[in-house]
Every structure is written in structure tokens, then in C-alpha cells.
Amino acid sequence: MLLLKLDKIDVYYGAVQVLRKVSLEINEGEGICLLGNNGSGKTTTVNAISGIVPVAKGTIQFMGKDITHLSSHDRVAMGLVQIPEGRKIFPTLTVEENLYMGSFLKHPKMQRKESLKKVMELFPVLANRTKQAAGTLSGGEQQMLAIGRGLMSLPKLLILDEASLGLAPLVVLDIFKVIEEIRREGVTVLLVEQNVAQALSISDRGMCLRRDGSAFPANPSPS
């Protein structure tokens, strides 16, 4: 079942065109990685999907509905959730309070207790730090917290923008294991990554963005 469709979207920052006729389809249950050099438009693409930046031309459909001009919070309510580059946690709030911020909408709030239990099972280290200020966590723990906060929103599509950025190699392996587990739970995942080999190893398909802002397939190599 087709979950997300980008049809020839253009995005500008002022007079500068960043994306040019980018098309992408993601089926329910898939893991897709979006690759490309710095400046190719990876973050802009996922920000357009999430409604953070406007689309000048083209359309975005999610679950069969045109969401091109829908607000970001309405997209979250539909189950389209992004974990931004740099984690963007609330450093002065506790771990628990950060997780609760991911379940502020009506439906996720009703399932907050069950979602919190699942997050703690995925990230046992967070279970022992629920009252600790999020800003005092290590970089890897903060990334776990950011992913956990996203899961609290009950995503149908989870977008992770540079989840491995700045993390130690062993922590990166742990993060990718968790992403695989999230997929096994039935959540569709879109990865934006510069860690090409690792991202392709856990993905069904890949897409590359050129510097001109267009896209082409980058399928995983057979193992």
C-alpha cells in the first residue's frame, strides 16, 4: 500500500531553488534511505514532507490525502513524524517530560502509558534516567531520547534526519539496531544518512539527491 508520494516537488529558499522536481514513493512497511552530498537537499526534502518548508510546485500525498499545504501539527496527527538533525531535545526538561512532549495530541495521549513502556523497553538506559535533565545525557542517550519522543507520537512514517551524526561507532550500531526493531514493529521508516553503507544495509531501497536538487534510485548492493 502506497503511504507517501512526492510528485515533482520544487522548493525554494528565497530566489534559490533547492529541490527540482523531486519524486519519491514509499510503501507501507518499507525502509527507505535518502542519500546525497552536503547541500544536495536531503534535509530540505524531509522538511518539505513534514511541512516545515513550503512546496512551490508539485504535490505531497500521505495515506492517499493531499497534504501539500497541510500544517506540520496536522501531519503529526496523521502519523507523519520527524526526528530532526541535531536531536532538538528540551535540555532543561527531564527525560520523562521530553517523552511526554511527544504525546501531546489526543490519540497519542490516550496511549501514553503503553507507548512509554515500549520506549523504555527499546532504550533501557532511559528507564533509569526518567527524572534526569535531558541536557545532562550523553550524545547517544540524547539521540535515543529523540527517537523515543518521536515514537510517543505513534508514527505511521518515522523520518530520521542524520540519526548517527556525531555519535561513536558503537553507539551508531546500537541506534541502527533500534531502527531495525522499529521497522519490525510495523513502522515505516525514512532515513536521511551520510553513513551510506550502514543505511543501505537496513533499507529496502535508497534514493540519491543530486546537487541540482533532483533524485534518482540508489538500490542496496546484493550481499
* DSSP letters for 109-143: HHTHHHHHHHHHHH-HHHHT-TTSBGGGS-HHHHH
Rounded to the nearest integer, the mean pLDDT of the chain is 90
Instruction: Give residues with Cβ within 8 angstroms of 72, minimum separation 6.
Output: 50, 51, 52
Three-state SS at 191: strand
Task: Assign 3-state DSSP to the chain and report helix, strand, coil percentages, each to 5.
Answer: 35, 30, 35
Of the pLDDT bands very low, low, confident and very high (cuts 50, 70, 90), residue 220 is very low
pTM: 0.90
Which of 47-51, 90-94, 120-124, 213-217 has the lowest average pLDDT? 213-217
- Domain ranges, ordered by start, for the chain: 2-217
Average pLDDT of the segment spanning 114-121: 94
Please say whether the structural domain 2-217 has been given the CATH code 1.20.120.1200.
no
pLDDT one-digit tens code per residue, 38-91: 888 999 999 999 999 999 999 999 999 999 999 999 999 999 999 988 788 999
pLDDT one-digit tens code per residue, 140-181: 999 999 999 999 999 999 999 988 888 888 988 999 999 999
The helix (run of H) or strand (run of E) holding residue 34 is strand 31-36
Distances (CA, A) of 82 to 20, 67, 120, 153: 22, 15, 20, 10
Average pLDDT of the segment spanning 114-130: 93
